Structure 1
């Protein structure tokens, strides 16, 4: 993999090109923020913004589940040397269209988030490497890695392959974080993986690519946020990236998990896309849901934007041993609120 440990200087011409690209392309909305600077718990949050329901469910998977990285549902898209693995760790995830996981947390405190990136280019298929369809990218690391560093080492040995579901291509990049405070952003640019690895990489949105987002952020100074400081307020990825950076600088040392989750969700609500907000060229992409992960406490919080209730599940309350059943709950239920660990239903068959 190509490793980028520090943001590099990028010329004004490149920055101008990236802004033009941002204005011209279909940049779906999503935001991820990692709060790793407090002493109570490492927590992260994300928004999921999409033009329709992704039919999300919350699923809990035990250890010992056999996966086929070459399938999207019943369709085989990696016909040669598809990755096959058996889950080493249990996890809780948010599914998308029943074909993969876009967000999740495993029992070792590793978090993973897939967000849209129009610039994604997975390149030509290399059959010498086991292939994994993109909707299983996050699930692969949650199944097999305990830390960000371990996940990156595993990803060096496989290739992510473009997938498609419901007419949407999986142009995605991956954010990882763990309970030690480590973080990584992985993007496929020009057919090759580009990795930004370090605890300082706490924010991710969408286009332009992450190195260009960092260069744009260097043009502003949010180290001492003030009420009279100009702040970009639109729903495009650059504005959301900078707004997330500004509000992250205001986070206070929490006194409880309740406060920590409230603070990270407050930022995620601020960078959400309101109902009806226009996206240039391709309509409306509202925020469908928000998640918050307590990597230290192994609890997963979920907030559907069409429901007034925040729900959560505690991984410690599930049997994650090999041979245990998988569990699932549909969060689109107005009666669900608070700790819903006991509301999950056993699955006869895992969805992927």
Structure 2
């Protein structure tokens, strides 16, 4: 007998009791002029020591895991947020493609050691997408062929490096990539506007379908768990006004992602992966503007990609955020040349 959407949702919800509550939220917001912004929160147990980087097109890259690593040359320049300077977890390229890497405990990339495919560090997954593709359709066509196998060593602090990838482009197209049971699963289409964490994306959609029948004006789940955040932000995103003024559109995207954030200092000893929001980003895909907000500072700053990206073949540039400097406004002039970080390898 075919299961109803509600039985699937119930099973998924019950299974959450065996899973840690994970971190981070991503949304794709449509403006009144049919342009798009991507908002994202980074929730983690400690400060992620994030710096911003500007990488030029023409940059030679490899998968970061030594012998057998995949190699490529960047077709696009990008501005990114690094995670402990071992991985690209967020960013936008010069074509307006946005990549967001979020934690997913169920991730299973298969046996990399047994595979004959070129290897790619989990820390390089988002960067590979930004370097190589200008649209979601282009990325899906290439990545569904699985040109590499992902290697996922433990993260700094010993946490499992499980993650899924969301991408969006200036047309509003969107895709979610997950590796489950060693197999790549892709959800492709503009309807995929929200991503959080556990459970897997098909189960998140089923749970959210249930909450849609309840109605956000009646009741929405209120915890910091990933499935609850998925339901709340989905309803809020659909209810939010589609602003035509670029400033109001940016403000609306920030208001949505702030509303789903976890306050500083929130922790649950029974759910060790419930974590405070440590930073937020908004990527304006039409204006090619990348906004960054640290939860530790009461200010927003941004980078105009046309101003900051090095010329093709130029040196990478870094905005050092150690010490939590108080920044506001456009900050391209504060980037300095630096050797690029190495992707997570061991």
Deviation at 1:278, TM superposition (A): 3.3
Counterpart Cα distance in 1 of 2:29 and 2:305: 20
Counterpart Cα distance in 2 of 1:41 and 1:15: 32
What is the aligned counterpart of 2:250 among 252, 261, 284? Answer: 261
Are 1:232 and 2:226 an aligned pair? no
Counterpart Cα distance in 2 of 1:132 and 1:211: 25
Matches within 5 A, 1:301-316: 301-316=291-306
What is the aligned counterpart of 2:202 among 196, 207, 211? Answer: 211
CA RMSD, 1 decimal: 2.1
Deviation at 1:283, TM superposition (A): 6.3
What is the aligned counterpart of 1:152 among 140, 144, 150? Answer: 140
Structure 1, residues 200-230: CA drift from partner, whole Å, max 9, x if none?
000000111110111111113389754xx21
Counterpart Cα distance in 2 of 1:319 and 1:303: 20
What is the aligned counterpart of 1:19 among 13, 16, 23? Answer: 13
Matches within 5 A, 1:124-273: 124-125=111-112, 127-155=115-143, 156=145, 157-166=147-156, 167-221=158-212, 226=217, 229-273=218-262
Runs of 4+ in 1 over 4 A off after TM superposition: 8-14, 222-225
Counterpart Cα distance in 2 of 1:161 and 1:55: 22
**TM-score for both structures, normalised by structure 2:** 0.91
Structure 1, residues 277-312: CA drift from partner, whole Å, max 9, x if none?
334432651111001000111110011001001110
**TM-score for both structures, normalised by structure 1:** 0.89
Q: Name 1:90's counterpart in structure 2.
A: 77
Change (3 A) 1:165 1:224: closer
Deviation at 1:10, TM superposition (A): 5.6
Structure with the higher helix share, 1 or 2:
2
Q: Name 1:5's counterpart in structure 2.
A: none
Structure with the higher strand share, 1 or 2:
1
Change (3 A) 1:10 1:321: farther
Q: Name 2:108's counterpart in structure 1.
A: 121
Structure 1, residues 249-271: CA drift from partner, whole Å, max 9, x if none?
12223232211111011111111
| Unpaired stretches in structure 2, ≥5 consecutive residues | none
| Unpaired stretches in structure 1, ≥5 consecutive residues | 1-7
